[in-house]
Structure 1
């Protein structure tokens, strides 16, 4: 099925098939029926990237089938994209085609939007961007009422800002997130909300339980999970390797008034070495890891899953909250983690409708 146009009548059937397949795959580790969180059947993607097809002095949005990069098909709509993306696509394309400066050697356009209605457009070129381009791009920005960002080789021209602000209502409280262009954000906004709400439900719910331990989070990104979960713990320590994401997380911590959360710029492998005192880190010179009493660890790793050392390290904690964008590598890790822990909760999040991909979550408790 072409993902620019989908048949929403088929959504539930496809979701049921994915759930059945995943439930069978997880059978060696749990007989729990999964908690299933469906996506909106359309307009669910908050970000999109289009190749720009140049032909006969005109440019159009285009997509390609995998492995067929010389056979583009031009698109006029993108029903999986947010309504804001679909609103912006026609006037942006008209304006680009009306300007040779904006059209010439444009090869990619990216949209970044939010559930709260914010948007950012990035235009990417095979040419240097000079004063004339900036002048016309500023006029376009004024016309659309949306920040424009220009990219070329070794160039990034920010006309207003290079981020959007997302506002998510999670269990009756609004959280605000700065999401920076080019850094990782969850693509499906409604599923993101479901994932955070589910993760919160897996955390201590009473003040007595909250006082009994701290939270460690690896791969925290911009604080997507970290910030809402902080209310459930005495103290929270989170790690992230991307400097851009760490900076955004620090701003998001301040914007949401969280005062019990610290972020360290470390990879999961480095944190494992630090907590095991294998070697010192200058970034930890004034930081006391021994002051934390971790009861729960949250991991949301890349598609490759957890490396062997990190997997062994998190197995020390009483509770493991493991959210995965790749159930195959999560299953590989569960082969080890279920030697010491049992699965108490199991969830399926349909982050990527109409594809074979999905996200899964498990709460593991020490046996």
Structure 2
């Protein structure tokens, strides 16, 4: 590692170790990132001048005013994105049907080289745009997705299929353009293996809240008799179900519920037609472990009370502050037996962390 990357990783390690010291966790397991070409997503504004246009991002000056920064290459993005950026820009510049009022370009790539490009406009997309975009898609061997206000034009697909290696098995994941996916695929693989190791092997069932597209669900299913995963976003539920089928896994059920709704259903406070339609019988499950990967806001109080009833809690967090706050409740009934830092976002202050909590 270069000294600059190691220094920022050491600073994160020191900060997290200090922040969580009051909970007496074991030694922090640190999972580093590649120093370059680690991001599978990149989003840029398109800046138009009188005679040119270019990729742009913004930074604030000393007066907190935004300044345009021209981007000709983006070293933290995957190599496939960097290779495509100049070719795509030249092609867009050469065709007025593609360049007119182009506002943003979003790249979504996979480890095996598939790329989806979303072109976002401030004008309606017409037949001329569609014809030009189809030709560009074939020319560059990429998927193209056009968007403007109230309009979406999907030429082939609005997703890519990622393949992640977890131990000796490869899992396929449909990653939809508008849905959340882990941006650092190689660190994600480390997270999946850590979660599976933390789960060990159980003859009981797993409850997963906030399952997204099934990122953790698929490999964790090998460690339990059955898995019940919950997710509220329809697009993520659809992707999770597609991923389960494509990977030939038969011990997972997905319930379209929020964590709060699941808590109400599990406590018998409310009945949900969505559970009946999916033929999910909560009483038939025998959970010993719960896995959670909540949004930055963390977990609500009622769901935290629910988690306290499980023997083991595996908690992946994208916000150490809310994790720390949630542990004020969870540490009343559980102790941290594994503690990890995953450097998903090098060169930023963001930290992804994981804890395994076992009942006292």
Shift of 1:91: 0.2
The whole-number CA distance in structure 2 between the counterparts of 1:221 and 1:15 is: 28
Separation in 2, partners of 1:130, 1:8: 49
Say which is worse superposed, 316-325 or 96-105, in terms of deviation: 96-105
Distance across 2 between alignment mates of 1:95 and 1:241:
39
Conservation of the 8 A alpha-carbon contact between 1:8 and 1:42: no
Q: Is the 8 A contact 1:123 1:148 kept in 2?
A: yes
**Structure-1 separation of matches of 2:24 and 2:355:** 10
Alignment of 1:235 onto 2:226: yes
- Counting matched residue pairs gives 356
Segments of structure 2 that go 5 or more residues without pairing to the other structure are none
SS at match of 1:21: helix
State how far apart, in whole Å, the 1-side matches of 2:231 and 2:80 are: 30
Tell me which residue corresponds to 1:53. Answer: 47
Choose the corresponding residue for 1:146, options 142, 147, 155.
142
Q: State the 4+ residue runs in structure 1 displaced beyond 6 angstroms.
A: none
Distance in 2, Cα, partners of 1:157 & 1:69: 35
Give the equivalent residue in structure 2 for 1:319: 312
Q: Are residue 342 (structure 1) and residue 335 (structure 2) matched?
A: yes
- Give the match for residue 23 of structure 2: 29
Q: Distance in 1 between matches of 2:330 and 2:60?
A: 35
Give 1:282's match in structure 2, choosing from 270, 273, 277: 273
Query: Could you say what secondary structure the match of 2:67 adopts?
Result: coil
User: Normalising by structure 2, what TM-score?
Assistant: 0.97
TM-score relative to the length of structure 1: 0.95
Give the corresponding residue for 2:256: 265
SS in 2 for 1:137: helix
Alpha-carbon distance, 1:69 to partner: 6.7
Determine if the alignment matches structure 1 residue 79 to structure 2 residue 58: no
2:336 match: secondary structure: strand
Deviation for aligned residue 1:99: 1.0
Q: Quick one: distance in 2 between partners of 1:8 and 1:64?
A: 26
Cα distance, 1:140–1:9 mapped onto 2, change above 3 Å: farther
Q: Which moved more, 1:276-285 or 1:264-273?
A: 276-285
**Which of 216, 229, 232 is the matching residue for 1:225?**
216
Q: Report Cα offsets for 1:61-85 as digits up to 9, x if no partner.
A: 0010158675211110100000111
> Which deviates the most, 64-73 or 357-366?
64-73
1:354 to 316, 336, 347: 347
- Tell me, in whole angstroms, the C-alpha distance in 2 between the residues paired with 1:150 and 1:8: 39
